[in-house]
Structure 1
Amino acid sequence: MAADYRSRASCLAVIFLCLQLAQAFYIPGWSIKSYQEGESIPLFVNKVYSDNTQIQYAYSELPFVCPPSGRKHARTGLISGSNIALNLGEVLRGDRIMVSDYDLEMGKDEEARYLCSHEVDRAGLKRAIELVKNGYVAEWIVDNLPGATSFVTVDKSRKYYASGFKMGYEETSLSTGQPRYFLNNHVTLVIRWHKAPGRDGQHGEKVIVGFEVYAKSIEAENRDASGLPADMRNTRNGLELTMARNTTNTTLTRDESSYIVEVSDNGAEDATITIPYTYSIYYREEDHVEWANRWDLYFVNQEESSKIHWFAIVNSVIISGLLTTVVAVIFARTIRGDLKGYKDAGMEELRLGKRSRGMRSPRRSDEKKGGLLDQIDADATPGADDGSDDDLPAEDITGWKLVHGDVFRTPSYGHLLAPIVGSGMQLVFMALGLLLLSCFGVLNPSFRGGFISVGLALFIVAGVFSGYFSARVYKTFGGSQWQHNAVVTATLFPGMLFATIFILNLFVWAQASSTAIPLGTLFGLGALWLFIQLPLVYAGSWYGYLKGGAYSHPIKATAIPRQIPLQAWYARPVQAALIAGLIPFAVIFIELLFVFQSLWSDKSGYYYVFGFLAVVSTILILAVMEVTIIAVYIQLCSENYHWWWQSFFLGGSSSVWIFAYCVYYYLHVLHIRGFASGVLFFAYCGLACGVYGLLTGTIGFLAAYGFVRRIYGAVKVD
């Protein structure tokens, strides 16, 4: 029964993941939706967000907007107020999409249309003022396009979109000098369409290539019986968010502005304010925008900055080229020369040994297989006969040659390093998969929440690789309890990540934010880990430990560890890691500006120059590998053989500089307000830097491991 239960639960978890990924999948050029003349177009409301805070709210849950009427939209089967099924990524990013009451029909213009009049109490009014004061913008969706405000470039040659529209605006009273807050209660919707491709276009059908929203504040007075303003073209006064009565309007001819003399209400707790909502709809043909490239207007700013992207690539190539030159010099001159000297000295020692020592010249079979460095170590062993002192001059054995008997010694806390490296390999496979899918266009802004959903799926599937590499490294370090190592590998990183997110969730739960992860989603994530991630890691560990086995080393460690001399200040672990981390940070610094702008400043999350990102990421990987190799070589030359952990820290040390840049960005670029928003910002940045550090640290560890094995196993004596 228990086995049947686990099997059913595993199947349910797989189905849950597949359903989450299937929602809203979209490939440009294939998923085209065309509309006939007069066909109903559903409008969805999503959420409100701000550049000044990390707290998001569901638009439909705001206390001052029109509640859904439950009306059924013709020929769509959608009912206003019903929630749209979301994929896992949409839920985690705070989306809450609901069908609205806005009635749109293809090709039918409406100069003014009444939606509702909503009565708001003091609490709702205070909430509205808070959102307007913090600069919140609303996100609506039509045909999978987010509603946008239209702008033009500085040279006025191109138009571009900024997602969302403002909930209101703030003004300073001319009479009192106090701030006044106005709510945008009227929206003008502009639907831009293009002739549908193929046969649909021949039948007069149209596709939507643009969705623009222009918000406006219109006073509640001076309206007709239908709730519409008397004159839509002449609405000077906005809807102020106050319980006060507007008694006098006075026109100032000097600056052609007006002010309102305010009087306070009687302070009754049940006082309310009525907010009327209206909207206009216009359909305009757009000849220059095809359906396949309708998202381009959202990325004009990124395209305009292509010169900066190219500068970032050139900067990265120059840095990587310098590092490659240094590594080439190390391999081609220093190490090869050292190994050649070893070989020549070894061959001379063999010739002299055969002549002078007679029966002592033949080597044992294990020494012959061990390579030249093993032979040198054997000759230097205490207790050898007196002829060994003349084999090799002492002054020739310096630097990294002296630690050949300790360089492959099992590191301290190797049982912890193995799961960390395994988790890092899991992240490497996930990142490569996301980057490839993004470059091929499978992951794009239309696939809302796709990065998180697909990234989570790739992370779970890559659990096989995590267990495999972790088990092999664990066995290399002499571990015997591979089952325990498999559980630690499957739990360590996901457990820390889940615990951090759960604690952060408490903050957003307290704020009633849409960013809060629902309890059902938390249970779903737990099921994915327990019934899919854990078995995959276990299977990979079984194969890696029993079938793959331990990695072989060209030299065996000596019985007695060598004493490490005093290290220079720049060769000490912390200083060396910080210095090494500066170079990869310099490689990605410029591209990092665009990523930060997309995630934190624009809040759109629409980063679309994946070609540049792929090139910079490739150069970053090369830079991390080369920096780690150079730093480990310097460390070995300093006769410090504790390189296992140090190579990991060297590879991931640029994450420290990235986090320091996050602090600078928070203090000097962003305008985030509130304790909860600050906690969320630094927590998210810390998680991102931790993931980045784990990924690059693993790359650095593997590069150093391959380098050390290469230089100490390069020469064999026949």
Structure 2
Amino acid sequence: MFFESRSLLFPLLFSLFLSSAFASDSDHKYQHDEPVNLWVNKVGPYNNPQETYNYYSLPFCHPSSSASAAHKWGGLGEVLGGNELIDSQIEIKFQRNVDKTVFCQIDLDEAKVKQFKDAIENNYWFEFFMDDLPLWGYVGELHPDKNSDNGKHVIYTHKNIIVKYNNDQIIHVNLTQDIPKPLEVGKHLDMTYSIKWDSTNVTFGRRFDVYLDHPFFEHQIHWFSIFNSFMMVIFLTGLVSMILMRTLRNDYAKYAREDDDLERDVSEESGWKLVHGDVFRPPRNLVILSAVVGTGAQLALLVLLVVLLAIVGMLYVGRGAIITTFIVCYALTSFISGYVSGGMYSRNGGKHWIKSMILTASLFPFMCFGIGFILNTIAIFYGSLAAIPFGTMVVVFVIWAFISFPLALLGTVVGRNWSGALNNPCRVKTIPRPIPEKKWYLTPSVVSLMGGLLPFGSIFIEMYFVFTSFWNYKVYYVYGFMLLVFVILIIVTICVTIVGTYFLLNAENYHWQWTSFFSAASTAVYVYLYSIYYFYVKTKMSGFFQTSFYFGYTLMFSLGLGILCGAVGFLGSNLFVRRIYRNIKCD
């Protein structure tokens, strides 16, 4: 099995921090006639991006000696991304052309013919790598046949590789295939290849530009969506500022006015001011709320950090570089989750801080682990490269146990001592005030569901580009767009949540903490509903394997997005609530 053949050793953990995300194990420079490796990677149905298998799971020509076939390990992210690079042992030398040459022979028997036919019917493609540049091709084709309703299955037997170089560096590789041969039991197929080297003026730093779909990602609709979201931010922030500041200013004036006859209108005695004795009451399930808010704050910083690193370091050029960077940055930012969670838990009078710290450090990783465990079991059953090797699991666990968890513990201790002091503007009354019945649209559930609509609207178009890049073989590189959309999402989420919180308090409902969290977190619900639409309308995925991975990965993404937005919404509402009650006279 795949996960048995690629165990990872603990020393590789150290090499992870030496930057598999930012550097290669070679300088990408070659001398004339120096050997160049062609690595075979994976094969699978084109319409199912995650359903990939070892290249030699199909009866292709094996290396002359399986023991001498080198494997290339490119980092933790590469393994988690389902890559397994094996030396093809095809002789290629820098700047030396090779005419049509036989490198092996396939003797077709009934089992091999059946395997190849199934692969062709399912539109199987394969992936090679040369000098970290990908090459793609199809296993074969189904040609129309007058004598057969199913058509004739043919397999390509010749691979023509064109390599462009600039001085001593490889700039571009291209693979074309021809000489299709029918699949018939008992036939012998000569598998051949040819190499042609051409010089080019393209610089090494621009060699990945050919893989970037500029017309798609920089389409006019993409720019328009950014402009539209930006205008939404201006309008929303302006509207919130105008309405709330005007309303609050009037409220402050009313409550500051001292009447000699001590009589006030009934309408003047209603609203958010009346719940000042309960608004800072500790929320229900404080441990859980502290954990999700701390985790969400960490995820917000994590996304910002990874996007900035992607902009600066062009992480899209390396296999698994984004995944590696995400895992390392998540571990290193765990201090933030502990600090935010510990401070919040302590300020609300929590006594079981160790329980809060453990939940904060393990909540999101174990949620992802639970989903990943189910998907990994499916991948192992199918024998797919998507199955995570046991050694990789150990490495990820070690990173969490020895880096993420201690940093979360340190952050919790610092948060309790530096920001854990109780400093509420108003004293909490002993007896909770009864919450009056209000109209249906002012209930917490409705406020929570409606709160996610505008944030989702601000990222709707970007979700299409992100989903298309992940599920349809496009390289996502416009991280500048992503940064703008992320900032817009944060601003819109805070504004919408503040409005929802104000409406709730004005309805004399002081249970604003969880409502503000769910009001922002509901954005993830709409993202997941959109993913269902995308699956059935925009993709051609099929089968239990790919369907499970699609909705499993999307669920993981939506959970992270929900926790992130929920934390941002809560923290924004918390600042708003503390600010407005600071200016009134609390009894």
The interval holding the TM-score normalised by the smaller chain is over 0.9
The answer to whether 1:179 aligns with 2:151 is yes
The answer to whether 1:292 aligns with 2:163 is no
SS of the equivalent of 2:282 reads coil
Question: Which residue of structure 1 aligns with residue 5 of structure 2?
Answer: none
Question: Which residue of structure 2 aligns with residue 324 of structure 1?
Answer: 237
The answer to whether 1:110 aligns with 2:98 is yes
Question: Cα offset for 1:449?
Answer: 0.9
Q: Show CA shifts across 1:140-187 (max 9, x none).
A: 11111112xxxxxxxxxxxxxxxx222222233222222332222211
Question: Cα offset for 1:392?
Answer: 4.4
Q: Show CA shifts across 1:362-383 (max 9, x none).
A: xxxxxxxxxxxxxxxxxxxxxx
The answer to whether 1:421 aligns with 2:293 is yes
In structure 2, how many angstroms separate the alpha carbons of the residues matched to 1:189 and 1:551?
69
**Partner amino acid for 1:420?**
V
Question: Which residue of structure 1 aligns with residue 172 of structure 2?
Answer: 210
**Partner amino acid for 2:311?**
C
In structure 2, how many angstroms separate the alpha carbons of the residues matched to 1:304 and 1:555?
51
Question: Cα offset for 1:467?
Answer: 1.2
In structure 2, how many angstroms separate the alpha carbons of the residues matched to 1:16 and 1:487?
27
Question: Cα offset for 1:33?
Answer: 2.4
User: Taking structure 1 as reference, are residues 306 and 178 closer, same or farther at Cα in structure 2, changes over 3 Å only?
Assistant: closer
The answer to whether 1:168 aligns with 2:129 is no
Match of 2:56 among 48, 54, 61: 61
The answer to whether 1:38 aligns with 2:33 is yes
**Partner amino acid for 2:16?**
Q
**Mean alpha-carbon deviation: is it higher for 452-461 or for 33-42?**
33-42
**Mean alpha-carbon deviation: is it higher for 588-597 or for 569-578?**
569-578
Question: Which residue of structure 2 aligns with residue 223 of structure 1?
Answer: none
SS of the equivalent of 1:215 reads strand
Question: Cα offset for 1:624?
Answer: 0.8
Question: Which residue of structure 2 aligns with residue 625 of structure 1?
Answer: 494
In structure 1, how many angstroms separate the alpha carbons of the residues matched to 2:584 and 2:431?
24
The answer to whether the Cα contact below 8 Å between 1:23 and 1:86 also exists between their aligned partners in 2 is: no
In structure 2, how many angstroms separate the alpha carbons of the residues matched to 1:695 and 1:143?
38
In structure 2, how many angstroms separate the alpha carbons of the residues matched to 1:134 and 1:23?
38
Aligned length: 578
The answer to whether the Cα contact below 8 Å between 1:443 and 1:451 also exists between their aligned partners in 2 is: no
The answer to whether the Cα contact below 8 Å between 1:26 and 1:446 also exists between their aligned partners in 2 is: no
The answer to whether the Cα contact below 8 Å between 1:422 and 1:469 also exists between their aligned partners in 2 is: yes
In structure 2, how many angstroms separate the alpha carbons of the residues matched to 1:111 and 1:654?
58
Question: Which residue of structure 2 aligns with residue 439 of structure 1?
Answer: 311
Question: Which residue of structure 1 aligns with residue 538 of structure 2?
Answer: 669
Question: Cα offset for 1:67?
Answer: 0.8
Match of 2:370 among 482, 486, 499: 499
How much is the aligned-residue C-alpha RMSD, in angstroms? 2.3
The answer to whether 1:95 aligns with 2:8 is no
The answer to whether the Cα contact below 8 Å between 2:46 and 2:123 also exists between their aligned partners in 1 is: yes
**Partner amino acid for 1:276?**
D
Question: Which residue of structure 1 aligns with residue 3 of structure 2?
Answer: none
Question: Which residue of structure 1 aligns with residue 14 of structure 2?
Answer: 18
In structure 2, how many angstroms separate the alpha carbons of the residues matched to 1:666 and 1:240?
35
In structure 1, how many angstroms separate the alpha carbons of the residues matched to 2:68 and 2:463?
41
The answer to whether the Cα contact below 8 Å between 1:320 and 1:623 also exists between their aligned partners in 2 is: yes
In structure 1, how many angstroms separate the alpha carbons of the residues matched to 2:191 and 2:76?
33
Question: Which residue of structure 2 aligns with residue 338 of structure 1?
Answer: 251
Percent identity between matched residues is 33
Q: Show CA shifts across 1:343-388 (max 9, x none).
A: 2x1xx35xx5xxxxxxxxxxxxxxxxxxxxxxxxxxxxxxxxxxxx
Q: Please list every run of 5 or more consecutive structure 2 residues that lacks an aligned counterpart in the other structure.
A: 1-8
Question: Which residue of structure 2 aligns with residue 406 of structure 1?
Answer: 278
The answer to whether 1:119 aligns with 2:107 is yes
Question: Which residue of structure 2 aligns with residue 537 of structure 1?
Answer: 408
Q: Show CA shifts across 1:615-635 (max 9, x none).
A: 111111111111111111111
Question: Which residue of structure 1 aligns with residue 160 of structure 2?
Answer: 188
Q: Please list every run of 5 or more consecutive structure 1 residues that lacks an aligned counterpart in the other structure.
A: 1-11, 72-78, 148-163, 196-205, 219-237, 244-271, 353-388
The answer to whether the Cα contact below 8 Å between 2:217 and 2:478 also exists between their aligned partners in 1 is: no
Question: Which residue of structure 1 aligns with residue 268 of structure 2?
Answer: 396
The answer to whether 1:687 aligns with 2:570 is no
Match of 1:487 among 351, 358, 374: 358
Question: Cα offset for 1:80?
Answer: 5.8
In structure 2, how many angstroms separate the alpha carbons of the residues matched to 1:213 and 1:714?
70
User: Taking structure 1 as reference, are residues 280 and 453 closer, same or farther at Cα in structure 2, changes over 3 Å only?
Assistant: same
In structure 2, how many angstroms separate the alpha carbons of the residues matched to 1:41 and 1:544?
53
Question: Which residue of structure 2 aligns with residue 228 of structure 1?
Answer: none
- TM-score, scaled to structure 1: 0.77
The answer to whether the Cα contact below 8 Å between 2:332 and 2:404 also exists between their aligned partners in 1 is: yes
Match of 1:638 among 507, 513, 519: 507
Question: Which residue of structure 2 aligns with residue 145 of structure 1?
Answer: 133
The answer to whether the Cα contact below 8 Å between 2:22 and 2:321 also exists between their aligned partners in 1 is: no
Question: Cα offset for 1:337?
Answer: 2.2
Question: Which residue of structure 1 aligns with residue 116 of structure 2?
Answer: 128
In structure 2, how many angstroms separate the alpha carbons of the residues matched to 1:469 and 1:456?
20
SS of the equivalent of 1:46 reads strand
SS of the equivalent of 2:427 reads coil
The answer to whether the Cα contact below 8 Å between 1:51 and 1:670 also exists between their aligned partners in 2 is: no
The answer to whether the Cα contact below 8 Å between 2:21 and 2:315 also exists between their aligned partners in 1 is: no
Match of 2:425 among 509, 532, 554: 554
